[in-house]
Structure 1
Amino acid sequence: MSFLHVDSITHAYFTKESAKVAISELTFVIEEGEFISLLGPSGCGKSTILSLIAGLQQPTTGTIKLKNKKITSPNNQVGYMLQQDYLFPWKTIEENCMLGLKLTNQLTVENKERTLGFLDEMGLSDVKKAYPNQLSGGMRQRVALVRTLATQPDLLLLDEPFSALDYQTKLKLENLVASTLKTRKKTALLVTHDIGEAIAMSDRVVLLSKHPGKIARVFEIPKHLRDITPFEVRNSPDFGMHFQTIWEELEAYE
Structure 2
Amino acid sequence: MSFLQVNAISHVYLTKTEAKEAISNLSFSIEEGEFVSLIGPSGCGKSTLLSIISGLLTPTEGKVIVEGKNSNQPGKSMGYMLQQDYLFPWKTIKENCLLGLKLTNRLTKDTIERTLKLLDQMGLYDVRHAYPDQLSGGMRQRVALVRTLATGPDLLLLDEPFSALDYQTKLKLEDLVFSTLKEHNKSALLVTHDIGEAIAMSDRVILLSPRPGKIARTFHIPAHLRELLPFDARNDPKFAEHFQVIWKELDSLEQSPT
TM-score interval w.r.t. the shorter chain? over 0.9
- The 3-state SS of whatever aligns with 1:28 is strand
In 1, the alpha carbon distance for the partners of 2:75 and 2:156 equals 12
Give 1:223 deviation, angstroms: 0.4
In 1, the alpha carbon distance for the partners of 2:68 and 2:14 equals 29
Aligned residue pair count: 254
Please list, as runs of the form range in 1=range in 2, the aligned pairs for 1:82-93 lying within 5 A after superposition: 82-93=82-93
2:35 aligned with 1:35: yes
2:238 maps to 238
Percentage of pairs with the same residue: 70
2:16 aligned with 1:16: yes
2:179 aligned with 1:199: no
In 1, the alpha carbon distance for the partners of 2:191 and 2:151 equals 21
1:160 maps to 160
1:160-219 CA-to-partner distances (Å, cap 9, x unmatched) read: 000000000000000000000000000000000000000000000000001100000000
- The 3-state SS of whatever aligns with 1:174 is helix
1:55-114 CA-to-partner distances (Å, cap 9, x unmatched) read: 001110001000110010112111000000000000000000000000000000000000
- The 3-state SS of whatever aligns with 2:91 is coil
Give 1:237 deviation, angstroms: 0.1
In 1, the alpha carbon distance for the partners of 2:194 and 2:202 equals 12
Give 1:16 deviation, angstroms: 2.4
Give 1:245 deviation, angstroms: 0.2
In 2, the alpha carbon distance for the partners of 1:121 and 1:22 equals 39
Residue identity matched to 2:124: L
2:112 aligned with 1:112: yes
In 1, the alpha carbon distance for the partners of 2:162 and 2:192 equals 9
- The 3-state SS of whatever aligns with 2:253 is coil
Listed as ranges, the gaps of 5+ residues in structure 1 are none
1:97 maps to 97
2:72 maps to 72
In 1, the alpha carbon distance for the partners of 2:126 and 2:245 equals 44
Listed as ranges, the gaps of 5+ residues in structure 2 are none
In 2, the alpha carbon distance for the partners of 1:50 and 1:16 equals 25
1:29-80 CA-to-partner distances (Å, cap 9, x unmatched) read: 1011000000001000000000000000111000100011001011211100
In 2, the alpha carbon distance for the partners of 1:103 and 1:139 equals 23
- RMSD over aligned Cα atoms: 0.4
- The 3-state SS of whatever aligns with 2:75 is coil
Residue identity matched to 2:107: L
1:61 maps to 61
Runs of 4 or more off by more than 2 Å in structure 1? none
In 2, the alpha carbon distance for the partners of 1:205 and 1:24 equals 19
In 1, the alpha carbon distance for the partners of 2:80 and 2:17 equals 33
1:186 maps to 186
Give 1:17 deviation, angstroms: 1.6
Give 1:2 deviation, angstroms: 1.1
In 2, the alpha carbon distance for the partners of 1:124 and 1:27 equals 39
Please list, as runs of the form range in 1=range in 2, the aligned pairs for 1:134-173 lying within 5 A after superposition: 134-173=134-173
State TM-score, norm by structure 2: 0.98
Residue identity matched to 1:188: A
In 1, the alpha carbon distance for the partners of 2:204 and 2:215 equals 13
In 2, the alpha carbon distance for the partners of 1:216 and 1:43 equals 15
In 1, the alpha carbon distance for the partners of 2:194 and 2:240 equals 14
- The 3-state SS of whatever aligns with 1:252 is helix
In 2, the alpha carbon distance for the partners of 1:73 and 1:237 equals 43
1:11-37 CA-to-partner distances (Å, cap 9, x unmatched) read: 000122211000000000101100000
State TM-score, norm by structure 1: 0.99
Residue identity matched to 1:87: L
